[in-house]
Structure 1
Amino acid sequence: MKNEMDSKFILSIFEKIRENGEPKGEGHFLAGVTAFSDFDGYTIFMEDQLVKLRFGFHNQYHFDYEKDEHMVQFEKKLKAIDNDY
Structure 2
Amino acid sequence: MKNELNPAKLLAAFEVVMEKGEDTEFGKIYEGVEASTDYDGYNVYLRGNGVELHIGFHNTYDLKYDQAHLRDSFLKKVDALVTDRVVDDHH
Query: Do they fold alike, i.e. is TM over 0.5?
Result: yes
Q: Normalization by structure 1: what TM-score?
A: 0.92
Q: Normalization by structure 2: what TM-score?
A: 0.86
Displaced runs of 4+ in structure 1, greater than 4 A?
none
Counterpart in 2 of 1:83? 83
Counterpart in 2 of 1:15? 15
Matched AA of 1:15: E
Q: What percent identity do the matched residue pairs reach? A: 36
Indicate conservation of the 8 Å contact 2:21/2:29, yes or no.
Answer: yes
Aligned length: 85
Higher alpha-carbon Rg: 2
Counterpart in 2 of 1:42? 42
Question: How much has 1:25 moved relative to structure 2?
Answer: 1.5
> 3-state SS of the aligned residue for 2:10?
helix
Which structure is higher in strand share?
A: 1
**Structure 2 unaligned blocks of 5 or more:** 86-91
Question: How much has 1:2 moved relative to structure 2?
Answer: 5.1
**Structure 1 unaligned blocks of 5 or more:** none
Deviations 1:26-83 (A, max 9, x none): 3000000100000000000000031000010111100000111111101111122112
